[in-house]
Structure 1
Amino acid sequence: MKKTSHFGAGASSGSFVGLKTISSACMHAAGHLALPAAGFTAVWLCATPVAAQQAQPDGLGRPDCKISSVVPPPSGAVDWKGACTNGYAEGPGELGWRSKDGKAIRLEATLRRGAIDGEAALALGGGAFYTGTFKDGFPDGKGTFLDPDGRMYEGEVRHGERTGTGIGVSPVGDRYEGQWLNGEYEGQGHIKYALGGEYVGQWHGGKRHGHGVLTYTGSGRHFEGEFVDGRIAGTAPPPKAERTYEVVTETANGAYLPREVARGSVVPPDVGYAALTPEQKRLVQSYYPALEEGDEPPYPLDGPMEFYKIMSRISGALRLRGDVIIYANVGPDGKVSTIGLGGLDTPDLRRYAAAGAASLRYKPALCRGQPCAMRFPFRLHLDEH
């Protein structure tokens, strides 16, 4: 039986509010940094063992240039650009086909009797890639994965899965180095969070679990102890958002009509941190996977609504589409020193996002009651209408 698998992807801890804008831009404010595993159906040659090749003929390619089966099955012919020897595709070349759901698949490899031999480069429609070694038709050994959401992995691979020792970077910029099992952090590992702080210790199922050392963001202080299900043992789980909020403005089209600019914020976007309810403050604090209990993150004094309006106009004018994370590095004085971008990144976007983030006033972060430097994230999905 021919095998299929999935390219697994590790998930990072933590979450933060995002927003969805419509009209000139659509900024989807995702509620979680901890994105689910971004798996996709593996596509590669399923090699037929040499001993079985006589009993099980290859079903693809021309009669004089046979190719081992591919997964997912092609909707039509499989194109081989390379040499043919003794009735099989042979040597370096490129395979191309379309899956039954219409995705264009491309595989650059060296074939031996129609099957992959050694390293290969696999490209899936939608922006997913794998480059590395193959065994029995599956990615196996060492390789590099790039997922459509920007997640990256480099390290050991077992039968199509990220298993062994490797380095992964999440879509939000968290960087993990350590042990993996089936695409998730498992065993011993070290993660540096994009929102500051880091953790070294044990993991299970993609979450901090077991003994570890957490370095807090802002202060650099440490906690060493036991973790359960991603959090310090004995602490309460983060709250869940009960509703979302939208941003509405007015536009003059012969008359003043309301125009929805953004939606999806899990806290009111037009008020500052002090005006949030205790439950809403806990939501904001939960965005930070390494925030010490009692500390406070930075926050726009009047809420992030004005920044969303600015970015809606900018993304519409620049005709931008895609996911972007804008990190405003807020100093103890409440001023933005620099910004960082993840995901979509163009010179114009970087320039205007920096100006927009710096135009806001911020409440500085508090570390044990004292102002400290910390990042504030804006996660947006820009979708021109």
Structure 2
Amino acid sequence: MRIIPAIGAVLALSTLLAQAQEYSIKADDPQTGSNLRRSTARISFPPDKTYAELPEADKARLRAVYENMGPDDEPPYPARGYGKLMRSISSAQNSVQIEGMVEMGVIVGADGRADSVKVYQSPDPKTTQVIASVLMLEKYKPALCNAKPCTQEFPFAIRFSLENQQLKTYR
């Protein structure tokens, strides 16, 4: 079993993604008085792609975050891609009006299920509970260590803003 600490990964990830292409996730319904669906989240990976469907450049950016990742190793990743996860987090943000930086690490088991969540930074206990719950309910593609499923930490960092009701993930 190999668990890679997420706090260093979160910091490395935010640096690597600073120049990455940004994708938007749109709200399901437009705001009252408009036909346009507003952007609810911006992420640095294609929201509709699973890990297997990611371009090699995106896979390389993800792998670079983890120390000592071998040629047959892969990091954990949301099983359905980032889009579904970010929509769930956006709904949570809208219901509790979260603002601030959240940094967490999800321990993903070899079966792809979240075993636990480590909290590195959160604006308040309610935010911690809501976001940790969403991350625990998510199904993940397990990490591969020497081409075999293994337990590994999935770093997750996000900044919530009430100004435009937008989320920006650093993952």
Give the TM bin, normalised by the shorter chain: 0.7 to 0.9
- Contact 1:15-1:289 at 8 Å conserved across structures: no
In 1, Cα distance between equivalents of 2:73 and 2:63: 8
What's the CA shift string for 1:233-266, capped at 9, x where partnerless? xxxxxxx73x221111232426653110111x22
Task: Give structure 1 stretches of 5+ with no counterpart.
Answer: 1-11, 17-29, 36-239
Equivalent position SS for 2:105:
strand
Q: CA deviation at 1:31?
A: 4.4
Give the equivalent residue in structure 2 for 1:380.
158
Q: CA deviation at 1:32?
A: 4.0
Give the equivalent residue in structure 2 for 1:327.
105
In 2, Cα distance between equivalents of 1:291 and 1:261: 33
Q: CA deviation at 1:373?
A: 0.2
Give the equivalent residue in structure 1 for 2:131.
353
Equivalent position SS for 2:110:
coil
- Contact 1:31-1:266 at 8 Å conserved across structures: no
Give the equivalent residue in structure 2 for 1:301.
79
Q: 1:277 aligns with which of 55, 58, 65?
A: 55
- Contact 2:76-2:140 at 8 Å conserved across structures: yes
Give the equivalent residue in structure 1 for 2:12.
15
In 2, Cα distance between equivalents of 1:255 and 1:318: 24
- Contact 1:269-1:305 at 8 Å conserved across structures: yes
Task: Give structure 2 stretches of 5+ with no counterpart.
Answer: 1-7, 164-171
Alignment of 1:142-161 (within 5 A): none
**Is 2:164 the counterpart of 1:370?**
no
Q: CA deviation at 1:273?
A: 0.2
In 2, Cα distance between equivalents of 1:32 and 1:322: 21
In 1, Cα distance between equivalents of 2:41 and 2:15: 14
Q: CA deviation at 1:345?
A: 4.6
Equivalent position SS for 1:333:
coil
Alignment of 1:18-29 (within 5 A): none
- Contact 2:25-2:47 at 8 Å conserved across structures: yes
In 2, Cα distance between equivalents of 1:381 and 1:354: 15
The Cα RMSD (Å) is 2.4
Equivalent position SS for 2:27:
strand
Q: 1:261 aligns with which of 12, 15, 40?
A: 40
Q: Higher relative contact order at CA 8 Å, sep ≥6: structure 1 or structure 2?
A: 2
What's the CA shift string for 1:75-97, capped at 9, x where partnerless? xxxxxxxxxxxxxxxxxxxxxxx
- Contact 1:334-1:363 at 8 Å conserved across structures: yes
In 1, Cα distance between equivalents of 2:44 and 2:91: 22
With 331-340 and 278-287 compared, the bigger mean Cα shift is at: 278-287
Equivalent position SS for 1:366:
strand
Q: If you compute each CA radius of gyration, which structure gives the higher value, 1 or 2?
A: 1
Compare the two structures and name the one with the higher strand fraction.
1
Q: CA deviation at 1:352?
A: 1.6
Alignment of 1:173-184 (within 5 A): none
Q: CA deviation at 1:382?
A: 0.9
Equivalent position SS for 1:315:
helix
Equivalent position SS for 2:52:
helix
Alignment of 1:231-242 (within 5 A): 241=20
Give, as a single letter, the amino acid of the residue that structure 2 aligns with 1:295. Answer: D
What's the CA shift string for 1:49-100, capped at 9, x where partnerless? xxxxxxxxxxxxxxxxxxxxxxxxxxxxxxxxxxxxxxxxxxxxxxxxxxxx
What number of residue pairs does the alignment pair up?
A: 154
Compare the two structures and name the one with the higher helix fraction.
2
What's the CA shift string for 1:7-52, capped at 9, x where partnerless? xxxxx67622xxxxxxxxxxxxx4449x9xxxxxxxxxxxxxxxxx
Give, as a single letter, the amino acid of the residue that structure 2 aligns with 1:338. Answer: S
Give the equivalent residue in structure 2 for 1:244.
22
In 2, Cα distance between equivalents of 1:298 and 1:315: 24
Q: CA deviation at 1:346?
A: 2.6
Percent of counterpart pairs with the same letter? 28
Alignment of 1:78-117 (within 5 A): none
Equivalent position SS for 1:380:
strand
Equivalent position SS for 2:28:
strand
Give, as a single letter, the amino acid of the residue that structure 1 aligns with 2:92. Answer: I
